[in-house]
Amino acid sequence: MLGAALAVTATACGGGDESGTPVLKWYARDEAGGVFGTAIDDCNEAAEGRYEIELQALPANADEQREQLVRRLAAGDSDIDLMNMDVIWTAEFANAEWIRPWPEDQVAAATDGRLETAVESATFEDTVYGIPLNTNAQLLWYRKDLTDEPPATWDEMLDAADQLEADGEPHQIWEQGQRYEGLVVWFASLLASAGGSILNEDGTEVSLEEEPTRRALEVLRDVSTSSHAPPALATAQEDQGRQGWESGDAAFLVNYGFVWPSANELAPDIAEQMAWAPFPSVEPDVPSTVVAGGFNIGIGAYGDHPDLAVEAATCLAGEPNQTRNAQDAGLLPVTEALYDDPEVTEAENEAGVKLFPYAAEMKEALDRATLRPRTPFYNDVSLAIISILHPTADIDPEADVDRLRDAIEQALKGEGLL
């Protein structure tokens, strides 16, 4: 009976393999507006029968995407031809040889005209391993009815919030303080703005210069222990920040651009007063440096058609698709020219609201942006940082510099429990 049942249900197993047009599977999260589907249609057309791309959906959460990809890549899965890789995975995947280096002759096509940081994020040990697809960085969002001049530094922001509190106005400052990657982004941005870095150039040793690290930790602690820290700061991710902003309790919000269209749709009163500025500096008169995020398209090491995959990826990450991704899904382009292109900068949603009024400031931030440490051990490093820094309200700037250094050193050896 068992066998019969299995036989019946086994018809679901294994579709036929047809020889003919090679099918390239693109493992990516299916973004809003079906933009990847449309990109695939366009690129399949352009391929003129040489290959056919098929989207293989991944979970919405980046950690779960990595989980799925790694499990299959480590097993030598030939099904993965192309995949969307978070910028922090490049070193790990490249070192484990799960992705192929980009062919020498195609590197120029993949990198020319693209943001430097984005190209760097797809590079490991001077070899390019992917083509940048989209990028991201945070801005400071504030309300014109509460603040005339956006604060230039974190200390200024705290002072402004103090004043607002005294005046009985909304005064919360929202950042991402949850125990996850977003906290590392906050810390790394502060550290870079203070002039420090987590690892050295090669990514082999801990750097964490004393003074900048202490400054960064002080900012974290000051914001988190102030009366302007929302009660849920220690569990706030990007979406919680958006919700806090739209509820009207917030005066300042550090977050990605997705909050703009959302506020316009869901909280128009607040959106009317919404303005933006660069990520606050740590040192006065020293412009801030934010961490850049985003995704690159990588080629699976075990796929059957690597050369076709490279072609497909180059098409998928081409300018027309980047433009559509920006218009319909809010994914920021990586090609520099697009930041001057009215199709992007003047794009509007159905309600006639401009989608990227902040394009110029965003481009500036991206030009100055930094990356998180590019080491195969990045996952462990990230966990180590998170375990020391969370909750941010409990940070002790003096002691935690050393604790952080020790934890990251251990992480770089891949040892111990985290």
Query: According to CB under 8 A, which residues from 269 to 328 bind another protein?
Result: none
Show the tokens assigned to 208: 């964490």
Look-up of token digits 């490279």: 310
Q: How far is the CB of 270 from another protein (least distance, A)?
A: 11
Residue 233's identity, in one-letter code, is L
Alpha-carbon distance values, 245 to 160, 175, 238, 251, 253 (Å): 17, 11, 11, 8, 7
User: Closest CB to another protein among 102 and 260?
Assistant: 260
Which H or E run includes 132? strand 130-136
Count of residues touching another protein (by CB under 8 A): 74
When binding is defined by CB under 8 A, the residue of 165, 169, 179, 209 that contacts another protein is 179
Query: Interaction with another protein in 352-381: which residues (CB under 8 A)?
Result: 376, 379-380
User: Closest CB to another protein among 61 and 273?
Assistant: 61
Q: How far is the CB of 258 from another protein (least distance, A)?
A: 4
Show the tokens assigned to 388: 């020391």
Look-up of token digits 């849920």: 232
- Decide: 153 and 280 in contact? Cβ < 8 Å: yes
User: Closest CB to another protein among 10 and 337?
Assistant: 10
User: Closest CB to another protein among 152 and 253?
Assistant: 253
- Decide: 143 and 267 in contact? Cβ < 8 Å: no
When binding is defined by CB under 8 A, the residue of 41, 45, 67, 272 that contacts another protein is 67
Verify binding: residue 234, another protein, rule CB under 8 A: yes
As a whole number of angstroms, the distance between CA 418 and CA 410 comes to: 10
Show the tokens assigned to 265: 């749709």
User: Closest CB to another protein among 91 and 219?
Assistant: 91
Burial 287-313 (b: 16+ CB within 10 A, else e): ebbbbbbbbbbbbbbbbebbebbbbbb
User: Closest CB to another protein among 9 and 149?
Assistant: 9
User: Closest CB to another protein among 2 and 49?
Assistant: 2
Alpha carbon of residue 177 to chain centroid: 16
Q: How far is the CB of 106 from another protein (least distance, A)?
A: 26
When binding is defined by CB under 8 A, the residue of 41, 249, 269, 402 that contacts another protein is 249
Q: How far is the CB of 264 from another protein (least distance, A)?
A: 11
Q: How far is the CB of 196 from another protein (least distance, A)?
A: 25
**Which stretch, 2-10, 107-115, 185-193, 310-318, contacts another protein (CB under 8 A)?**
2-10
Query: Interaction with another protein in 109-168: which residues (CB under 8 A)?
Result: 136
As a whole number of angstroms, the distance between CA 257 and CA 359 comes to: 9
**Which stretch, 73-81, 155-163, 189-197, 359-367, contacts another protein (CB under 8 A)?**
73-81
Show the tokens assigned to 77: 């899965």
As a whole number of angstroms, the distance between CA 358 and CA 29 comes to: 25
User: Closest CB to another protein among 96 and 286?
Assistant: 96
User: Closest CB to another protein among 244 and 300?
Assistant: 244
Query: Interaction with another protein in 213-232: which residues (CB under 8 A)?
Result: 230-232
The dihedrals phi and psi of 124, each to the nearest 5 degrees, come to: -140, 125
**Which stretch, 103-111, 177-185, 209-217, 333-341, contacts another protein (CB under 8 A)?**
177-185
Show the tokens assigned to 356: 């990227």
Q: How far is the CB of 248 from another protein (least distance, A)?
A: 11
Verify binding: residue 197, another protein, rule CB under 8 A: no
As a whole number of angstroms, the distance between CA 97 and CA 291 comes to: 26
Interface mask toward another protein for 77-116; x: CB under 8 A: x-x------------x--xx--------------------
* Angle of the 35-47 helix axis to the 319-329 helix axis, nearest 10: 160
**Which stretch, 71-79, 118-126, 315-323, 358-366, contacts another protein (CB under 8 A)?**
71-79
Q: Three-state DSSP class for 408?
A: helix
Q: How far is the CB of 109 from another protein (least distance, A)?
A: 26
Q: How far apart are the first and last CA of the chain?
A: 47
